[in-house]
Structure formats: C-alpha cells, structure tokens
Amino acid sequence: MERHFEKDLNELKERLLWMGGLAERAVHQAVQAVLNADEQIAQRVLAEETAINEMQIEIDDRVVHVLALHQLMAVDLRFVLAVSRINNDLERIGDQAVNIAQAAQRILRHPRVKPYVDLPKMSEIVEGMMRDALNALVRRDVVLAQSVLSRDDQVDNLRDQIFRELLTYMMGDSSVVYPAFDLILMAKNLERIGDHATNIAEDVIYFVQGRDVRHPAVDRR
Amino acid sequence: MTARVLWRKSLSAVMLSLTGVCAFVAVSVLFLILGYLVIHGGRSVNWDFFTKLPAPVGELGGGMANAILGSAKLLALASLIGVPLGLLGGVYLAEFGGHAAGFVVRYAADLLNGTPSIVIGIFAYALLVLPFKHFSTFSGAFALGIMMIPITLRSTEEFLRAVPLALREGALALGASKWRAILTVVLPAAYRGILTAVLLALARVAGETAPLLFTAFSNRFWSPGWNQPTASLPVMIYTYAVSPYDDWHRQAWAAGLLLLGLVLVINLLARVVLSRGAAVRRS
Amino acid sequence: MPSTANSSVSLAAGLPASPGRELAGEHSMRMNISKLNFYYGEKQVLFDISLGVAAARLTALIGPSGCGKSTLLRTLNRMHETVRNARLDGEITLDGQSIFLQDVTQFRRRIGMVFQKPNPFPKSIFDNVAYGPRINGASRPLSDVVEASLRRAALWDEVKDQLHKSAYELSGGQQQRLCIARALAVEPEVLLLDEPCSALDPISTAKVEELLVQLKSSCTIVIVTHNMQQAARVSDFTAFLLNGSLIEFSPTPQLFTTPADSRTEAYITGRFG
Ligand SMILES: Nc1ncnc2c1ncn2[C@@H]1O[C@H](COP(=O)(O)OP(=O)(O)O)[C@@H](O)[C@H]1O
Ligand SMILES: [Mg+2]
C-alpha cells in the first residue's frame, strides 16, 4: 500500500537534489572564475547564493511539517533526518562557494601567480564527491557513498601539496603574497567542501543501512 | 492451614453435589413425565388417533382428529390476533414510547402476563360468548390471543432494544425516515429473536385449558368455521381424564403426549432460530 | 543539473511550485457553522462555535474525550435531532442555505456519515451498499452503483466474489470500508466520520486513511478523531475543541508546528492538564 506521505517525501527529495544542483553549480562556477579569470562568473555565484538559502529554508520547513504531521518510522524517519543534515551541508557548501567567489574577485586583481595544475584536479575531485554523494542518496547506493569517503584523503593530500607549493612562491616573491594567500584559502575552502560531501555520504549510509559510520572511535554499544 | 483447605474443599464438594442433585431432579422430572406419558398413552397413539372422530360413549377406539384440528385452528387464529398486536405494541414501546406512555403500556403488559388464564377466559366469555349465546372457536382463539400479547410485546421490545442504536443511525444517516429504518433495518435485525418469542408464546398457550373451557368449550364432532364450539387437545385431556372409562384415560395420556411433543418441537424450533440469529447478530 | 552555460534561467525552474500555506478563510466553503450553542437538556455542551468547512478538503475535529466533537459533527447532518431534549441555537448552512429549513430526510441524503464502530446492516454486502440508492431511488443500475462505491472505498477487489455474503463475515477494517462504501453510494456532498478508525488495527487504519486522502478530491470530509496524529496525517484543516469551545482552527501544518494558543500546544504535545 502506498502511503500518501510518500508524496511529501518525494517532493522533499526532489528539492534536496535541486539544492544539491545549485550548490554544485556554485562551486563549479566559483572555481571557473579563478581558472578562466572571469570576474562575471564570480559575481553570478554571489548573486545566486540567495536561491540556495531560500531552498534551505524551504527544505527545513518541509522537514518540520513532515515530522510533525506524519509519524515516520525506520527508513522513512532516517531519510528525513538525513535530508535535514544534508540540507545543512549543502548550505555550508554554498557559503564556501561564495568564499571562493570572493577570493576569486581578489585574485583576479593580480597577475596569475603560476599555472594552475593541482587546483583544477582538486576541484574536479570535490565536485565529483558532491555529485556521487547525491547520486548515492537517489540510488540508495552504499558502495558509491563509501567511494566518496575514500576520496577525502586525496583531497587532503592535494590541499597540503597546494599549500607547500604556494608557500614556496610566497617566500620567493613577496609581491605574490596576496593572491597566493587567497589561493591557499581557496584550497582550504575546497577541502571543506570535500568534508561536507563526506558528511553527506555518511548520512546516506545512515539512511540506507541505519548504521552510523561517523567517528568510528566512538563506542556505540 | 491444611484444615482450612480441607474444610474449603469439602464445602465445595458438598455444594457441587447439592446443586448437581437439584439439576438432576429438574431434568428427571421432565423425563419422568415423558416416560409416564409414553407408557400410558403410547399405545393409543396410532393412525386412528390422528384421523378418527371420538367414538360414541361406551364404544372402544376412535380418535381425536377434531381436537387436533381444533387446537391448530385455535392457535392459528390466536397468533393472528396476538402477534400483530404484540409486535406493533413492542415496536411502539421500543421506538416511540415516551416515558409515561411507555411505563403504562409496559406495566399493563406485565399485569396481563400475570393474569390467571381463567380470568382471561371469563373475560372472553363475557365479551364473545354471552352476547352471541354460543361457544365458538373464535372466542377461544381470542382468549389465547390475548394471552400471547404480553409475551410477544415485551420480547419484541427487548429484542428491538437490543438492536444497536448505530444501526438505526446508519439508516437515518442514509436518508431513511424513521419508519423506513424500523421496517428495513431494525426489524430484520431483530426478527429471529421476535420469531423465537412468538414461538415460545405459542408453546405457552398451546396447553392452556382454563380459558377454553367456557369459550371454545368442546365438541365431539368436527367444528366447521369459526363460530361453533370446538374440541381442543387440552380440553379433551381434561374431559377424558376425569371420565370413568379406561380407554378414554389412555387416549387422554396420548393427547398429553402429543401436546408435550408439540411444545417440545416448538421450543426446539425456537432454540434453533435463536442460535442462528445470534450467529448473525454477533459483531 | 544546472549548468554554467545558460545562467539566465530561473534557478527554481523545473520544480513543482511549493504549496503556499493555505488559509481556511481563503478557501471556498461548503458548510458554515456560525455561533452554534448546543444543549442536552439544561447542560450546554457547545459554546458559540463558528467554523467553516472547506470544499474538497479534509477538516479534522480534535480534542479530549467529552469536549463535544461528536456532538458538533452530528449537528452537521442533524443527527442530534434523534436525541430527546437536545437543542441548539445558531446557524449551519450547506452551500449558503440553512440546513434546518430543509426536509430532514432529503437533507441527510446529501451528507454521508460513518460511525465509530463499523455498523453494517444485517444484510449481504451488496444490500448494504445498495441500501441508500434503494430508498432514494437510484438513477443508475444498482449493481453499477454498488461496484463503483466499493471501488471508491478500496474494497471491491476484496469482496467482488462474495457480494451476497453477510456483511458480518468481513473483518472489522473491511466492515468499516463497507460502511464508507455504503455512505458513498448515495453520492454525498459531504462525508462525516466519527472516529472511524478507533476500532481498527493499524493496517486497517492506514487503509482507511489512504482512502480518505484519495476521497477528498471528490468529497468534502469532516472527521472527528481523538487521535491527533491521525488528524495530522490526513487533514488539511484542524479544529481544536476544549470543553465545548473552539480554541483554535488553522491549516493542519500550522496547528501542529506553530499553534497559536497555548492550550492547543499543551494538548498536541501531550502536556495537557
Ligand atoms: N445524549 C446525550 N445526553 C446528554 N449528554 C450527552 C449526550 N451525548 C453526549 N453528552 C455529553 O456531551 C458532552 C460532549 O459529548 P461528545 O460530543 O460525545 O464528546 P466527544 O465526542 O468529544 O467525546 C459530554 O460531556 C457528554 O457527556
Ligand atoms: Mg465522540
């Protein structure tokens, strides 16, 4: 028997995915602004942030309604809790994208410090993590979610590499300190986005399997 | 401790056997009567008994065909008089009776139920025999019919009241008028119970003698129509039993056996009807 | 997936519009109760109730036992008139016309009612559903009406091969859906239900609830329930009654997330009394 609250749950999922799309697009555009030296794209990211914020509020509203009106159990309950947390992560991702866009605006006022090699690689991985985390949600695919978790280390390594490299540039030429510092911030932001994608993947595993994979050190007997 | 347990156990055993004996006595009385009737009247229950008129005084043989038919006619007519009155009165009590009117009707019915049957006989005599100056099937049936009213009425009321209010409201909510709801939902829901009550009332009056003595009186021949005195089983039993003839005594026993058989059959029928009714009314 | 290529598209395009919060006052009303006072003898049980029943929506009446929910519901099809010494003042309208000025049996045909305990008639399944059309004079063949009603009540598949069996042979949940089918057979404009699931197990309850949600597109529904979770699950508007007074009447999501009255909040959070 299909229950009528499934319609509400589906709409909730639809909106969450839409918001995921918006967040992904924001990250992608913000990074492109730097790589392609395109000031306009950076501005667009800033303008579009409101859409993400509005969506966050709407999803929160729906979560409250669904929880108040339907006494959800088991997988349905875990789904709504996961949606609520993913909603937060996506909003934070949006904020990070805005940070990157603002850094981009500052970076573009200076000549390019160096050819970007690791940065595009890193953003590609991070965007892939976001996309796969949300796909895992749609397909209830735990394996895909696990693969997102395992990519977190690559991101951390790339961030460290970018740090080291840019520090070398800064020590060698004090005129690049400002843009190089912003590039470091950008790597830091991307790394944070990767963390949020990891959180999303963990929530997906929790939703599908009812298993909490966060903080394995915590004893949950 | 053990003494008290012992005391309790023995008391329980005593009570159990006492009640058991009482129950046994009650049942054995019925079987005693039945056995007595069979022993004394069994031989006279033969084809003649059912098909022949009583033999002239002094002759052996003959039967009670006229009394059997007479009883059947009396009971049929009595039902025609008593059942509709009792039924409609019961419907009134259960569905419409206000506080005061309901009390009066109910009280009157209970009084009527407790009235000695001979008094009802006298009433019928005064009303339907004296003015016409002859006994009749009709006056006898009238007396029996009156006796059926209170039982039918009170049990109709009880069985209608037992029909859940929800059924009535269900019908009303669908746009049925009150009468329609009663006819199409309430009465059908109660009809097995009511039918049982009617059968029991019938069984009750089937053996009545007193009210027939001066209404239907008796008759040694066929009684065509409704306007002449008629023989009936209970009155035949009465007259034959007090007669000086052995053959008549035997026939009285046989008639008694027939009557008891009839009552038993009606009772059984009532039980069957009611038990099936109960199966339908459970919910 | 939004792409960087065409930035001018609205970022919410392609999503179904969010349902705005619906207010009772904005919706077209099927029934209107105004300034209703109700008495059993000298005892007043409803106090100055004013309430609109929105068309093609599900309105729930909730409140503690004895607060007057059933009484209020039963005024809506004038069933209170079967109770001796019940009386009321105030006005109730159906499509703008006073319900008290109409012939009561004619009027009740327009309002279906389902009761707390399933109350099928001691008849066959078929005859139960056909009862209303029979007394009201059906325009379509009876068997069509019966099938259509049983289908609407989501019972057809379970009983189509045993239409002539006694209704008492059905399970409690099936009996209640039969009663809903029986009410639907006269094509009521408004359907009243008084705690229709209180005698049912959770699965049957869920079935009835799904049924109600489906029915409300074609029928205006008022449901009394002591189970406020049920009101939350199925209704569009909820009225909270307390001691015969209407405390709060709001769209259901609002009443259950941000009730306006502290007594409503105490009740729905179980901190009552
Ligand atoms: N037929 C009646 N006669 C007198 N009082 C009644 C009758 N029916 C209900 N009441 C009283 O009216 C009040 C409201 O009852 P009801 O509407 O059944 O409440 P609810 O359905 O909310 O439990 C209660 O106090 C109840 O005792
Ligand atoms: Mg009630």
Q: Name the residue among C172, C203, C195 with its Cα closest to residue B282.
A: C172
Percentage helix, strand, coil, to 5, in chain B?
A: 80, 0, 20
Distances (CA, A) of A122 to A20, A28, A127, A156: 19, 11, 9, 9
The confidence score (pLDDT) of residue C19 equals 47
**pLDDT tens sequence across A183-208:** 999 999 999 999 999 999 999 999 89
Long-range contacts of A203-206 (CB under 8 A, 24+ apart): A203/A82, A203/A85, A203/A86, A203/A89, A204/A82, A204/A133, A204/A136, A204/A137, A204/A140, A204/A141, A204/A142, A204/A145, A205/A142, A205/A145, A205/A146, A206/A78, A206/A81, A206/A82
The confidence score (pLDDT) of residue A220 equals 64
Distance of CA A50 to the CA centre of its chain: 16
Whether ligand 1 lies within 6 angstroms of the CB of C173 is answered as no
DSSP class of residue A219?
A: -
**pLDDT tens sequence across A84-139:** 999 999 999 999 999 999 999 999 888 887 888 889 999 999 999 999 999 999 99
The residue of C74, C84, C115, C179 whose CB has the most chain B CBs within 10 angstroms, and thus the best one to mutate to test that interface, is C115
What residues in chain B have their Cβ under 8 A from chain C's Cβ atoms?
164, 166-177, 180, 184-185, 188-189, 280-283
Long-range contacts of B100-103 (CB under 8 A, 24+ apart): none
Q: What is the pTM of this model?
A: 0.78
DSSP class of residue B84?
A: H
How would you classify residue A185: left for phi > 0, otherwise alpha for psi between -120 and 50, otherwise beta?
Answer: alpha
Residue C240 lies in a domain: no
Interchain proximity C109–B164, CB inside 8 Å? no
DSSP secondary structure string, A177-205?
HHHHHHHHHHHHHHHHHHHHHHHHHHHHH
Residue C183 lies in a domain: yes
Instruction: Find the residue in B nearest to C166 (Cα).
Output: B280
- Confidence label for C6 from pLDDT (cuts 50, 70 and 90): very low
Instruction: Find the residue in C nearest to B95 (Cα).
Output: C82
Residue C241 contacts A, CB cutoff 8 Å: no
Question: Rounded to the nearest whole angstrom, what is the distance from the C-alpha of residue C65 to the centroid of ligand 2?
Answer: 7
Q: Name the residue among B215, B234, B245, B217 with its Cα closest to residue B55.
A: B245
**pLDDT tens sequence across B14-60:** 999 999 999 999 999 988 988 888 888 888 888 888 888 888 887 88
Angle at A65 between CA A59 and CA A69, to 5 degrees: 150
Instruction: Find the residue in C nearest to B277 (Cα).
Output: C122
**pLDDT tens sequence across C145-188:** 999 999 988 899 999 999 999 999 999 889 999 999 999 999 99
The closest CB to that of A3, out of C2, C16, C206, belongs to: C206
Interchain proximity B184–C118, CB inside 8 Å? no
DSSP secondary structure string, A42-102?
HHHHHHHHHHHHHHHHHHHHHHHHHHHHS---HHHHHHHHHHHHHHHHHHHHHHHHHHHHH
Pairwise CA distance, residues A153 & B249, whole Å:
117
Residue C2 has pLDDT above 60, yes or no: no
- Tell me the pLDDT of chain B (283 aa) as tens digits: 688 899 999 999 999 999 999 999 999 998 898 888 888 888 888 888 888 888 888 788 888 889 999 999 999 999 999 999 999 999 998 888 777 888 888 899 999 999 999 999 999 999 998 898 889 999 999 999 999 999 999 999 999 999 988 899 999 999 999 999 999 999 998 988 888 889 889 988 998 988 998 888 888 888 888 888 898 999 999 988 888 888 888 888 889 898 888 888 888 888 887 777 544 444 3
Whether ligand 1 lies within 6 angstroms of the CB of C69 is answered as yes
Token pair in block for residue A76:
């349905």
Q: Name the residue among B134, B169, B141 with its Cα closest to residue B77.
A: B141
Residues within 8 A of C (CB atoms), A 38-97 only? 41, 44, 48, 51, 55, 58, 64-65, 68-71
Pairwise CA distance, residues A175 & A169, whole Å:
10
Residue C135 lies in a domain: yes
Question: Rounded to the nearest whole angstrom, what is the distance from the C-alpha of residue C67 to the centroid of ligand 1?
Answer: 8
Angle at C261 between CA C258 and CA C265, to 5 degrees: 60
Contact status, residue A177 vs residue A122, Cβ threshold 8 Å: no
What is the mean pLDDT of the segment spanning C129-133? 94
Residue C125 lies in a domain: yes
Pairwise CA distance, residues B75 & C225, whole Å:
54
Residue C130 has pLDDT above 50, yes or no: yes
CB environment B233-243: b (16+ within 10 A), e (fewer): bbbbbbbbeee
Pairwise CA distance, residues B212 & B209, whole Å:
5
Pairwise CA distance, residues A29 & A123, whole Å:
11
Tell me the ipTM for this assembly: 0.86
Pairwise CA distance, residues B134 & B128, whole Å:
9
Residue C95 lies in a domain: no
The confidence score (pLDDT) of residue C27 equals 73
Neighbouring subunits of B (3+ Cβ pairs under 8 A): C
Residue nearest to atom 27 of ligand 1 (CA): C66
- Confidence label for C87 from pLDDT (cuts 50, 70 and 90): very high
**pLDDT tens sequence across A23-71:** 999 999 999 999 998 899 999 999 989 999 999 999 999 999 999 888 8
Listed in sequence order, the residues at least 6 apart from C103 whose beta carbon sits closer than 8 Å to its beta carbon are none
The closest CB to that of B166, out of C106, C119, C166, belongs to: C119
Pairwise CA distance, residues C172 & C201, whole Å:
8
Pairwise CA distance, residues B197 & B191, whole Å:
10
Q: What is the sign, positive or negative, of the torsion defined by CA atoms of A132, A136, A141, A145?
A: positive
The confidence score (pLDDT) of residue C47 equals 97
Listed in sequence order, the residues at least 6 apart from B188 whose beta carbon sits closer than 8 Å to its beta carbon are C121, C122, C123
Contacts of C106 in chain B (CB under 8 A): 175
Domains contained in chain A, CATH given:
2-209 (1.20.58.220)
Interchain proximity B172–C82, CB inside 8 Å? yes
The confidence score (pLDDT) of residue C220 equals 95
Residue C16 contacts A, CB cutoff 8 Å: yes
Neighbouring CB atoms inside 10 A of C161's CB total: 8
Ligand number nearest CA of C75 is 1
Mean pLDDT rounded to a whole number for chain C: 88
> C97 forms bridges with which residues in the sheet?
C94
Best residue among C70, C71, C225 to mutate for probing ligand 1's pocket (most ligand atoms within 8 Å of CB) is C71
Neighbouring CB atoms inside 10 A of A218's CB total: 7
Contact status, residue A33 vs residue A106, Cβ threshold 8 Å: no
Whether ligand 1 lies within 6 angstroms of the CB of C75 is answered as no
Residue C236 lies in a domain: no
| CATH H superfamily, domain B47-282 | MetI-like (1.10.3720.10)
Interchain proximity A22–C206, CB inside 8 Å? no
Residue C14 lies in a domain: no
Whether ligand 1 lies within 6 angstroms of the CB of C45 is answered as yes
Strand order from edge to edge, sheet including C245-251 = C111-114, C190-194, C220-224, C58-62, C237-242, C245-251
- Domain region containing C129: 120-187
Pairwise CA distance, residues B214 & C73, whole Å:
61
CB environment B163-189: b (16+ within 10 A), e (fewer): bbebbbbbbbbbbbeeeebbebbbbbb
- Confidence label for C8 from pLDDT (cuts 50, 70 and 90): very low
Contacts of A34 in chain C (CB under 8 A): none
Contacts of A69 in chain C (CB under 8 A): 232-233, 252-253, 256
Residue C230 lies in a domain: no
Number of domains in chain C: 1
Interchain proximity A24–C1, CB inside 8 Å? yes
The confidence score (pLDDT) of residue C15 equals 56
| DSSP collapsed to 3 states, chain C | CCCCCCCCCCCCCCCCCCCCCCCHHHCCEEEEEEEEEEEECCEEEEEEEEEEEECCCEEEEECCCCCCHHHHHHHCCCHHHHCCCEEEEEEEEECCEEHHHCCHHHHHCCEEEECCCCCCCCCEHHHHHHHHHHHHCCCCCHHHHHHHHHHHCCCHHHHCCCCCCEHHHCCHHHHHHHHHHHHHCCCCCEEEEECCCCCCCHHHHHHHHHHHHHHCCCCEEEEECCCHHHHHHHCCEEEEEECCEEEEEEEHHHHHHCCCCHHHHHHHCCCCC
Token pair in block for residue A87:
């909603």
Collapsing DSSP states into helix, strand and coil, what is residue B54? strand
Residue nearest to atom 26 of ligand 1 (CA): C66
